[in-house]
Structure 1
Amino acid sequence: MALDGEYLKEIEAARKDLRQLLQSKKQFSPIILRLAFHDAGTYDVKAKTGGPNGSIRGELNNPANNGIKVAVDFCEQVKAKHPKVSYADLYQLAGIIAVEVTGGPIIPFVPGRQDARNQQDRGALPNPNGDAKHLRDIFHRMGLNDRDIVVLSGAHTLGRANKDRSGFDGSFTENPLKFDNSYFVNLQKEDKPGLVKFPTDKVLLQDPAFRRYVQLYAKDEKTFFAHYAESHKKMSELGFQPPRAVVKA
């Protein structure tokens, strides 16, 4: 894909439309963020397959993707206005803006992802009932490290668990439409009625290597935001080699 001026203009126009939509309909932000995570999360660093390539729109029958059609349909209204923008770019840009409009950090976005020609979901996504080994197996397969695992788990500050998707019901924080460090603060507190903790959340406190990051982010939101922005960008670019910009004479 050539990053010519026309494509970059389309990206900026899509960014503007996504921001306007999500600012007026913030309730869609959590599922949009989940869309971005799940499209990227199939990446296999050794096989060089999967990743943020837009293929998730053909993978909605995967039980791990239950409910994500809502986000795919939401993004389709922007795609219709900007057909030149790849689905791969659109979904990752939407995820970044979902974080931004709910009060989270500004995450740099580099366009140029190409859409996969076929279904790519060979890499498993995290199971909420998994243990520390499961989390490491999944995220290390993507090429992410322990800090990435913990800080990206902080995205649970947005949204809620749904019985038909994860087997759990309830939000992770008191304000599920505000991106902050309350997920980590709550992890260190006793369980509260109405709030959910997956086994994969609780293991972040049980595992010593994970726990030190939980404690850091619960105490220091600024550091959480800085690390989150780094890891989210990293996740959104798994297997992606940014193309060179083409400047027309």
Structure 2
Amino acid sequence: MSFALLRAPLRKAAFSAAIPRTAVRTSYRKFSTPTPPPPPKAKSNNGLFIGLGAAIAVGGLAVYLYSDSTETGTAVKSGIQVAKVKANFVPTKEDYQKVYNKIAELFDEAGEYDDGSYGPVILRLAWHSSGTYDKDTKTGGSNYATMRFEPESLHGANAGLNVARDLMEKIKQEFPWITYGDLWTLGGVAAVQEMSGPKIPWRPGRIDGHAEHATPDGRLPDASQGGDHLRNIFGRMGFNDQEIVALSGAHALGRCHSSRSGYEGPWTFSPTTMTNDFFKLLFDEKWVWKKWSGPKQYEDKKTKTLMMLPTDYVLTQDKSFRKYARAYADSNELFFKDFSAVVARLFELGVPTEQFVAPEPWIMKNLDEQDTKQ
């Protein structure tokens, strides 16, 4: 399990030992979290006031605070975020590292929950809050963190994510200046990196939206479907076949719950350690239909303790998907490289480039790296 004292032993679990480590919801006002005040480390200069003044002049502070127009209020918010970026009116990388650390420390408080770590469910929160993006309408994605609102929070694909949102709310209370979109995606980065996965480039700049921005149901993958469905869902986000397969590798972590998705079981024998085992098992094990009263899913014939979803198994059946899945099964290094790149893109879907506080994403340090340097 993943108690704090067992962190190091867990990361050396059998299925990862041979692979070097490279790396409650509350009631919300109609208007989302107010623009955060400057942290103590933030710079204060004439450029700051000029930048903020420009944003206020464009949109009007009174409109931002009191207007009944959601679109107007959001546009002003985005303008203020851009002005803050230009004026360096943002928390420092060190401030975000502190948030990362708090999230990472939270993983070890899981006790008996899901194999002893909150990491997988927090990664799922980051994934699902970003994967609603539609490149044609430029709606959805991580920018507005709309899973805070109904009906999106109640969509079937998001069942059980109230656990992750509640956990992130504790961090939000300690660092009220961070937006939910930044918090949730940073949580996803921490989950991957703390569970022995690759480094995920990340940068802040998301703003909190309104309930009116909540996305319609059906934008996330339906595990009962096949290859055409995967291409439709991920193609809407802007991903190709190789990227679809790489993103599917996130199933190396966590498990399904019959009380949530209807499916049951872990994908790998080490669900709190990230490796390419998901792909290796797809090819190495014999998968048969599970005989039970739940939805159709596969189980490994040998132990009957692992499961694969129809959307997982299709990666071995579709000719294009199969070649990428086979390559990742053969090389953990290649999988980590491609997974890192595509997850970094996933977490930035829907965020206007000018809102980001840095021209290039940052690499956050994991807890072990910081312990080594102390």
TM class by shorter-chain length?
Answer: over 0.9
Q: What SS class does the counterpart of residue 272 from structure 2 fall into?
A: coil
Matched, 1:190 2:283: no
Q: Do the aligned residues in 2 keep the contact of 1:10 with 1:82 (CA within 8 Å)?
A: no
Quick check: which one's helix share is greater? 1
What are the superposed Cα offsets for residues 27-70 of structure 1, whole Å, 9 maximum, x if unpaired?
11111011011101110000000001311121221111100000
Question: Which of 250, 256, 263 is the aligned partner of 1:161?
Answer: 256
Q: What SS class does the counterpart of residue 19 from structure 1 fall into?
A: helix
Q: Do the aligned residues in 2 keep the contact of 1:51 with 1:238 (CA within 8 Å)?
A: yes
User: Structure 1 regions of 5+ residues with no counterpart?
Assistant: none
What are the superposed Cα offsets for residues 6-44 of structure 1, whole Å, 9 maximum, x if unpaired?
423542321121122225546111110110111011100
C-alpha distance in 1 between matches for 2:131 and 2:276: 22
Matched, 1:54 2:145: yes
C-alpha distance in 2 between matches for 1:217 and 1:244: 31
The equivalent residue for 2:105 is 20
TM-score (ref. length: structure 1) = 0.94
| Residue correspondences, number | 246
C-alpha distance in 1 between matches for 2:280 and 2:356: 42
C-alpha distance in 1 between matches for 2:343 and 2:305: 28
Q: Do the aligned residues in 1 keep the contact of 2:223 with 2:311 (CA within 8 Å)?
A: yes
C-alpha distance in 2 between matches for 1:10 and 1:121: 31
Q: What SS class does the counterpart of residue 7 from structure 1 fall into?
A: coil
User: Structure 2 regions of 5+ residues with no counterpart?
Assistant: 1-80, 111-115, 288-299, 359-374
Q: Do the aligned residues in 1 keep the contact of 2:255 with 2:264 (CA within 8 Å)?
A: yes
Task: Give 1:158's aligned amino acid.
Answer: L
C-alpha distance in 1 between matches for 2:123 and 2:137: 25
> CA RMSD for the aligned pairs?
1.6
Q: Do the aligned residues in 2 keep the contact of 1:23 with 1:101 (CA within 8 Å)?
A: no
Q: Do the aligned residues in 2 keep the contact of 1:42 with 1:51 (CA within 8 Å)?
A: yes
Question: Which of 116, 134, 137 is the aligned partner of 1:44?
Answer: 134
Matched, 1:177 2:268: no
TM-score (ref. length: structure 2) = 0.63
Q: Do the aligned residues in 2 keep the contact of 1:10 with 1:84 (CA within 8 Å)?
A: no
Identity %: 37
1:244 to partner: Cα distance: 5.7
The equivalent residue for 1:88 is 181
Higher RCO, 1 vs 2 (CA within 8 Å, ≥6 residues apart): 1
The equivalent residue for 2:228 is 133
The equivalent residue for 1:148 is 243
The equivalent residue for 1:241 is 352
Q: Report the CA distance shift for 1:237/1:244 in structure 2 as closer, same or farther (over 3 A).
A: closer
The equivalent residue for 1:33 is 123
- For residues 58-137 of structure 1, what are the structure 2 equivalents within 5 Å? 58=149, 59-118=152-211, 119-122=213-216, 124-137=219-232
C-alpha distance in 1 between matches for 2:104 and 2:226: 36
Matched, 1:206 2:297: no
C-alpha distance in 2 between matches for 1:158 and 1:214: 16
